Amino acid sequence: MPRLAIAFVCFSFLVQQAYGVQWREVELILPRALETGETVLVEVQLGTLSRGKEIEITTTSGRELGVISPHGIRTGNAAGTYTLPISPDVFSNRHAFIRLSINQPDRTRRAPTADEVKNVRVKIAGGM
């Protein structure tokens, strides 16, 4: 039986390598319920990105939430932290899942590495 489990893990790895994972999925959890006039913001902390790469952010159903296109970053430097407003209707019971993809200059898409997207966090802003 252990050989079957090892074979399945190897097969899963080969399928992932052959087809590639095109996104990294992140769960967002609101710290509390929103009050009137408040906005949900997602902060994305980027590490080092090669020239021409963009971070696309969507819901799991494919609804586009935004694109981060860093420009003018010196080679080898972190691209910085970017903040995107997110519609509250993306959340259900204070939870949401988003997908982050790297759009490359050759028009291919892949999941960002931990070095490219360092951190993602949700914040609440505004209010009365």
Chain centroid, CA 92 distance in Å: 18
Question: How many H-runs (helices) and E-runs (strands) does the chain carry?
Answer: 1, 8
pLDDT of residue 92: 93
Which three-class secondary structure state does DSSP give residue 70? coil
pLDDT of residue 127: 66
- Averaged pLDDT for residues 68-73: 85
Residues 6+ apart with CB under 8 A from 76: 48
Of the CATH numbers 2.60.310, 2.30.110, 3.40.1350, 2.60.40, which one belongs to the domain with range 22-126? 2.60.310
Burial class (CB in 10 A: 0-12, 13-18, 19+), 97: middle
Whole-number percent of the chain with pLDDT over 70: 82
Tell whether pTM > 0.75.
yes
Structural domain spans, the chain: 22-126
Whether the pLDDT of residue 18 is over 80: the answer is no
Q: CA-CA distance, 79 to 92, in Å (whole number)? A: 31
